Chain A
Amino acid sequence: MLALLVALALAPNDARAQDPRLAARLDKPTQFAVNAIVDSARAAALPTAPLVEKALEGAAAGSDGPRIVVAVRHLAARMGAAKHVLGPRASADEIKAAAGAMDFGVTVRDLARLHAAAGKRPLTMPLAVLTDLLGRDVPLVTATSLVVQLTRAGTKDAEFALFQRNVRLDIEHGADPAVAATTRGRGMMLKAAHTGGRPTE
């Protein structure tokens, strides 16, 4: 009797492996396809919540099933590549952020450079800022190089946030995206060098 009660208590865990929100918002074929991708990601020790969220985003956006499946599959592939570079200790947030940056063209080589520059520090914020720079049309080479240098200089998350804000404001005021990013980046690195940060390239 006790064993049955314990088994019943544990049973919901198995049910949760397939997110009920997918069943509520996707048609059956799409749901099965997404669940299969989620299961594969789980087997590969990848975070699965971003995949479910991507499917829900597609449903909310009114996309058709095949497009949702393609998006989820691509995200899983990018997360797998990101984890391969960032290592098994990468957090789910880092993997998500890296996958987002790769969607803008950041290569695994760039990721590896960033990972080496960060050492043991988390990469979530640098990757979010890198993605933003790319989204504001800062050239890939410029944006990646800047973020790698700032990371190597020991820039803290709050300083990265300030850098992103300043670049955004400069661009909104008409500055060229590459010039805005480079100028603000140099300013931050000079400040880091002045306050005893690590030397820049």
Chain B
Amino acid sequence: MPEHDDEIIEQVADELRGPVPLSASFDARVMRAVRRFPRHSRHSRGAVWSRLTAPRAIVVRPLSAGLLAACVLALAGLGLVQAAKMVRAAAKPAVGGVFARTAKPAATQRVQFVLVAPDAKKVAVVGDFNGWDASHAAYQAKHRGGGVWSVTAPVPVGHHRYSFVVDDTVWMADPTAPRASDNDFGLPNSAIVVEADK
């Protein structure tokens, strides 16, 4: 490199090293601007509140924001599904012969109900386990021949009252089961205690 280029570079460097001249009012202007900021002192009243309420500029990348929103929605959705499951489970009702037990350990057991009614055209089981609904599909008995009607249906573990409804009109107690009180509506009922299999 030519020597005169070194001299030029040296002159530029000297210029840059030199002090920057400032006007006399520069310091005053800077201090006025600084004084406008709130003092951050442990001892000043409202310092914490000020820090909490002071606006902040936050930089969020679109990808991060999208991921965060997706996570929040997913959590909310899971929460909804879980709550719906809890509501459905709780709405189920707490959940023949006196004592029914099957091989399946569960909150509901399958119980066989049998009625001999040779003249019947239709037999259904109604009870506190199916809202006393004679049209409930799971509790419609089938004729097995010889006037024997039977159905195996789910009954929650616990104490229940039930009856047979013959031809949608006649209520009959289960002759093989303990009798339950029938003073309220004058219709015969039977009792059953369903136990969970141990």
Contact = CB atoms under 8 A, between A and B. Distances in A.
Q: Do A and B bind each other?
A: yes
Interface of A: 1-2, 5-6, 8-10, 12-13, 16, 21, 47, 49-50, 53-54, 56-61, 63, 67, 71, 74-75, 92-94, 96-97, 100, 103-104, 124-125, 128-129, 131-132, 135-136, 157-158, 160-161, 164-165, 168
Given A93-B159, A132-B98, A103 B183 contact: yes
Contact of B80 (A8, A49, A74, A161): A8
Interface in B159-195: 159, 161, 171, 176, 178-181, 183-187, 191, 193, 195
Interface string B77-92: 0011011100100110
A60 B125 CA distance: 12
Contacts of B72: 2
Of all A-B residue pairs in the complex, the 4 with the closest CB atoms, nearest first, are A132-B178, A135-B179, A9-B83, A103-B181
B178 A129 contact: yes
B22 to A, nearest CB: 53
Given A56-B132, A103-B181, A161 B187 contact: no
Interface residues of B, number: 39
* Residue among B131, B134, B176 with the highest chain A CB neighbour number at 10 A: B131
Given A10-B83, A58-B185, A74-B184, A132 B99 contact: no
Contacts of B195: 157
A158 B99 contact: yes
Given A60-B132, A164-B98, A128 B87 contact: no
A47 B90 CA distance: 14
Contact of B187 (A9, A53, A59, A61): A61
Nearest to A161: B99
A21 B91 CA distance: 11
Given A56-B132, A61-B185, A93-B159, A128 B80 contact: no
Contacts of B75: 2
Given A5-B79, A63-B185, A165-B97, 14 more contacts: A9-B84, A12-B84, A16-B90, A56-B128, A56-B132, A60-B126, A60-B133, A61-B187, A92-B94, A100-B181, A128-B98, A129-B98, A157-B195, A160-B98
